[in-house]
Chains A and B, each alone.
Chain A
């Protein structure tokens, strides 16, 4: 029997005898670790989800949107309102040599009626390049092309989910008619599902798409809310941006539009999430702190409960450090029990919400949680343990 095993065994014997006390003592740490791990899992999951969405936009992509969007890494809401751009901008931008494809975008939301049903849908009107820039694919029928745009053809492409809702099975939707504000459209294609989980975001499955010229029927002003641009792979992004700015500044002040690089946006989002995560972890840490104080409290009680035992051990030759370590091990075990249980619960919780929320537990937060909980065991155990080891042997052994 080696020493440390003996100490562990004797600690566990104590825990076994007072299971309820052990559990309640560990509970604070359990909740703290659970909170830290779950909240970081949610934060990290959300961040990963959003960056995945940007990844999906692909490389060599730029956006032009109205207003000022990025000021010191934060969004201003006004930038998402209203459309300002028009066909002149499109023509001007299309002339830039390094721009491979450009999609003007306007939207219309309203009731879309099939012969069976009515659904509230958002329709994106754009150019034929839209398919290329977004990487969308049709599973049935075709995407609208340049000639549809030229003819202002009353055609729409539907996402998988909305096609299902309107027509039952998506496969039967091609060739069917729908009406919006009493204007008739033909469904010419169905998109392959883009997935996107159950969580908001740019899940294309729920939308419909049509030529931007067709969209004019809903907007006499003929405005676009943004441009999505794909530039040549070997072009220098700064040169492309400069060219775009040259075109835009002919008609707008520099405050009236923003030229966005997704990577730039990503770093803004990353910094926002860094702050959110720190706040979440700080909040959750409060419960860890409370848990630690709970352990300290119980350890003080344990020390007076075990005064006699300390005296016996000292009489048998235990040094101060042996006693100190014994109590430290006990408080570390208590908090690690809480930590492990909290971790298991957090893991199960994350598994449970994963189907609706993109949460994931990363190794870092596991190591952190266990490290922190044993750290708390040491930190909050050390004062009671010191008290135990500083008892004089004779006082301890005379204690009843």
Chain B
């Protein structure tokens, strides 16, 4: 489903020195896969995830989605892909504090450019029920626990029915038991809903949930098995 071909991400440190956050990265993630992107801090995991999720552009190289080169798409088209194709889950949850749980979950709907075949509000309420957040619909993010916030973030990622979920250290701000719950949740989404999932982590226990590990070291993908 996703293919990176010779992707480089270069930051200019100063006039002469370039820093390669990603160097000649080649990678394929198949439909319905559950992968873990692992590696030490600063190795380029987040950078890789941002490029896969179309939040960032490679300095060179190509990103193919379903065999289509998306590197050349304009900003509006890329925004729509982010809206419809990917759902993000972040370590800091990244909910908008002034919006309620329900409003946060429905936020992506506001940016949809194509008619949605289902009623998003109904779907959101059903998801809230299913993921054990009943009664929190009109709470604000700072009034619910970290684990609940991360579940809200996952529901927000799910509302547009994406084919891919990208999670960057989704358990990093949670205790291990709550973190495990979140990972189980992602695993179920992968198995039951057939959603492709990529999780960035540096913890082996978390990576163990995935079917395959992609190891990043100093901007290079050293092992994918």
Q: Which residues of A contact B (CB under 8 A)?
A: 1, 3, 6-7, 10, 13-14, 17, 308-309, 311-322, 392-394, 397
Contact = CB atoms under 8 A, between A and B. Distances in A.
A35 to B, nearest CB: 34
Contacts of A321: 76
B121 A316 contact: no
Given A315-B94, A316-B88, 19 more contacts: A1-B106, A10-B96, A308-B94, A314-B55, A314-B82, A315-B82, A315-B88, A316-B107, A317-B79, A317-B82, A317-B111, A318-B79, A319-B75, A319-B76, A319-B79, A319-B80, A392-B56, A393-B82, A397-B90
Give the interface SS of chain A, mostly helix, strand, loop or mixed: helix
Contacts of A13: 98-99
B144 interface: no
Contacts of A312: 94-96
Contacts of A311: 94
Given A317-B83, A394-B56, A14 B107 contact: no
B84 interface: yes
Contact of B111 (A17, A309, A322, A397): A322
Contact of A316 (B75, B76, B83, B98): B83
A366 B156 CA distance: 44
Contacts of B146: none
Nearest to B159: A316
26 contacts: A3-B110, A6-B103, A10-B96, A10-B98, A309-B96, A311-B94, A312-B94, A312-B95, A315-B53, A315-B88, A316-B82, A316-B83, A316-B88, A317-B80, A317-B83, A317-B108, A317-B160, A318-B79, A319-B75, A319-B80, A320-B75, A322-B111, A392-B56, A393-B55, A394-B55, A397-B90
Interface in B40-82: 50, 53, 55-56, 75-76, 79-80, 82
B126 interface: no
B65 to A, nearest CB: 15
Contacts of B88: 315-316
Contacts of A17: 98
B112 interface: yes
Q: Which of B80, B82, B84 has the most CB of A within 10 A?
A: B82
Interface of B: 50, 53, 55-56, 75-76, 79-80, 82-84, 88, 90, 94-96, 98-99, 103, 106-108, 110-112, 121, 156, 160
Nearest to A12: B98
Given A1-B106, A397-B55, A314 B79 contact: yes
Given A318-B79, A394-B55, A313 B107 contact: yes
Nearest to A318: B111
A321 to B, nearest CB: 8
Contacts of B111: 313, 316-319, 322
Nearest to B108: A316
Given A313-B107, A314-B55, A397 B79 contact: no
A318 to B, nearest CB: 5
Contact of A393 (B56, B76, B94, B156): B56
B128 to A, nearest CB: 16
B114 to A, nearest CB: 11
Contact of A315 (B55, B75, B84, B106): B55
A364 to B, nearest CB: 38
B135 to A, nearest CB: 20
Contacts of B106: 1
Nearest to A6: B110
Nearest to B51: A394
A364 B8 CA distance: 60
A330 to B, nearest CB: 12
Contacts of A315: 53, 55, 82, 88, 94
Contacts of A10: 96, 98-99
A320 B80 CA distance: 11
B50 A394 contact: yes
Nearest to A317: B83
Contacts of B83: 316-317
Given A1-B121, A392-B56, A397 B110 contact: no
Nearest to A315: B88
Nearest to A316: B108
A5 to B, nearest CB: 10
A394 B99 CA distance: 22
B50 to A, nearest CB: 5
A212 to B, nearest CB: 80
B152 to A, nearest CB: 13
B160 to A, nearest CB: 8
